[in-house]
Amino acid sequence: MERYLSMPRLYLSGCMGLALAAFLLYPGNPVWDLSATRVPNTILIYLSLLPLMLAVYGDRERFLIAFATRPRWIQVGLAVGIPLGLVVLLRVLAWLSPLYAGSLAREWGLLEPLSFGLYWLALWAAVSWARWRREQGHEFKPYQALAVLFALATLEECDYLGIFGGVIGRIHGVYVGSPHDLATLWYRTGHNLWWAGAAGLVGIGVGVWSWKRGYCSVAFLRREVCTVTSVPVLCGMVLLTIAQLGDIDKTIFGRLAVLWCGVCEETLEFLFAVLLQVSLWLKIARDYRKGLLRTTAQDSSSAIRHAAP
């Protein structure tokens, strides 16, 4: 099954679909201008993402081993070069064609679905990470908690498939499609302290329950937070915080545009998703080098090697 999912035609069809969507998002293109329409382009992008996600899922362990077995300087180079390259690309696009850059960064543009795909990849990476650690007898529950967080992030990115938005709709003019929209509602309805207090109590309750159940620990925080592999995701969390503040107060992006034309919520969220991937792959590669993980693909390659004459 996994061999079928990883066939080149899945990669080819997905990339061609995304390329077509990127072209149709260009304002004033001679074929079909989808820069101002929501539904057709959203359907095209997500249908193009599906074969790519299936193909990468089929090749997940092979990609991980390929990355983990590369020299350290290559891993660091990829970890630094990919995010910086994307930042330069987005900046050049914003400079050459601000309208096109804005079209890509709309909610029905290209960046938000790509963020969705990256969160989905983070989800399966965390699930695999937890499973491998459990099979080797190491602490695994905090990594299961990470998988739950990434699942929630995936649902947040697609507004929970429109379920909350369809049922709740707008409250005081604020669209409530996911829990993070409650922060905007709180800000625009007079900073009600009862709301903030209730959210704080829920957060404390979840934290205490997670700690008692072993889904968070001092050893886990020391091992995964206080390390150089966390630098990318910590930088990404700064960008995500700015994105959330900008969603609450739109004037923030106007001020940031002085430093970088084209700054918007979806751009920063996309860069956070990229930096999250970088940290995840660096951490999994670190555990792989230390012998803390043993993947199915590794066992298969070892069996083939020992069976060879």
CA separation, residue 270 to residues 63, 83, 87, 111, 156 (Å): 22, 10, 10, 6, 13
Q: Which of 9, 26, 58 is the last residue of a domain?
A: 58
The answer to whether residue 175 scores a pLDDT higher than 80 is no
| Residue 307 belongs to some domain of the structure | no
Per-residue confidence (pLDDT) for residue 192, from 0 to 100: 65
The answer to whether residue 300 scores a pLDDT higher than 50 is no
pLDDT digits (tens, 9 = 90+) for 227-255: 999 999 999 999 888 888 877 776 666 65
Average pLDDT of span 94-101: 87
**77 and 26 co-located in one domain:** no
Average pLDDT of span 275-287: 93
Question: Two tokens at 279?
Answer: 């940290």
Q: Which domain range does residue 34 map to?
A: 1-58
Please tell me the distance from the alpha carbon of residue 162 to that of residue 294, in angstroms, as a whole number: 39
The domain total for the chain is 2
Q: What's the gap between Cα 116 and its chain centre?
A: 6
**104 and 252 co-located in one domain:** yes
Pairing of strands 170-171, 174-175: antiparallel
**49 and 175 co-located in one domain:** no
pLDDT digits (tens, 9 = 90+) for 25-41: 998 888 888 887 878 88
> What angle do the packed helices 39-58 and 8-24 form, to 10 degrees?
160
Per-residue confidence (pLDDT) for residue 21, from 0 to 100: 92
**171 and 230 co-located in one domain:** yes
Per-residue confidence (pLDDT) for residue 114, from 0 to 100: 93
Per-residue confidence (pLDDT) for residue 214, from 0 to 100: 86
**133 and 232 co-located in one domain:** yes
The answer to whether residue 299 scores a pLDDT higher than 90 is no
**125 and 249 co-located in one domain:** yes
**185 and 234 co-located in one domain:** yes
Per-residue confidence (pLDDT) for residue 249, from 0 to 100: 73
Per-residue confidence (pLDDT) for residue 83, from 0 to 100: 93
**109 and 215 co-located in one domain:** yes
Do 148 and 176 meet the contact criterion of CB atoms below 8 Å apart? no
| Residue 65 belongs to some domain of the structure | no
Please report the DSSP string for 210-244 in residue order: HHHHTSS-HHHHHHHTSSGGGHHHHHHHHHHHHHH
| Residue 304 belongs to some domain of the structure | no
The answer to whether residue 218 scores a pLDDT higher than 80 is yes
Contact partners, residue 26, CB within 8 Å, separation at least 6: 33, 35, 97, 100, 103
Question: Two tokens at 75?
Answer: 């891993």
If one compares 176 and 65, the residue with the highest pLDDT of the two is 65
Please tell me the distance from the alpha carbon of residue 16 to that of residue 8, in angstroms, as a whole number: 12
If one compares 16 and 42, the residue with the highest pLDDT of the two is 16
SS3 303: helix
Q: Which of 10, 25, 58 is the last residue of a domain?
A: 58
**165 and 290 co-located in one domain:** yes
Categorize the per-residue pLDDT at 49 as very low, low, confident or very high, splitting at 50, 70 and 90. Answer: very high
**146 and 235 co-located in one domain:** yes
**How many other C-beta atoms can be found within 10 angstroms of the C-beta atom of residue 202?**
10
**191 and 247 co-located in one domain:** yes
Q: What is the pTM of this model?
A: 0.85
Please tell me the distance from the alpha carbon of residue 246 to that of residue 256, in angstroms, as a whole number: 10
Categorize the per-residue pLDDT at 93 as very low, low, confident or very high, splitting at 50, 70 and 90. Answer: confident
| Residue 302 belongs to some domain of the structure | no
**145 and 277 co-located in one domain:** yes
pLDDT digits (tens, 9 = 90+) for 117-172: 999 999 988 988 898 889 888 889 999 999 999 998 888 887 776 666 666 667 76
